[in-house]
Amino acid sequence: MKKFDFSKIVVTLIILLNIMFTITIITVFLETGSEPPALVAAWFAFTTSEIYVLAKIKRDKIKKGEDKNEG
């Protein structure tokens, strides 16, 4: 049985949510003529930091030799 890789699911989910968020913001912009800049900045700051933290965890596991899926 293949080991469950939580980080791949989270990265995929974040990409899909970013696409949905972008489409929603474009729709709001077309309807109202303006976008919520604070919300956009906060959303992308949040998702970027989540990806960064997952990458750091993965990098630390590889350094320790705990990740058997790599090379």
Per residue in 6-59, pLDDT tens? 888 999 999 999 999 999 999 999 999 999 999 999 999 999 999 999 999 888
In terms of phi and psi (left: phi > 0; alpha: psi -120 to 50; beta: otherwise), the region of 33 is left
* Cα 28 from Cα 30, distance rounded (Å): 5
* Cα 63 from Cα 61, distance rounded (Å): 5
Q: Residue 70: is its pLDDT beyond 90? A: no
Rounded to two decimals, the pTM is: 0.77
Between residues 70 and 66, the one the model is more confident about: 66
Determine the pLDDT at residue 62: 86
Determine the pLDDT at residue 51: 94
What is the Cα Rg of the chain in Å? 17
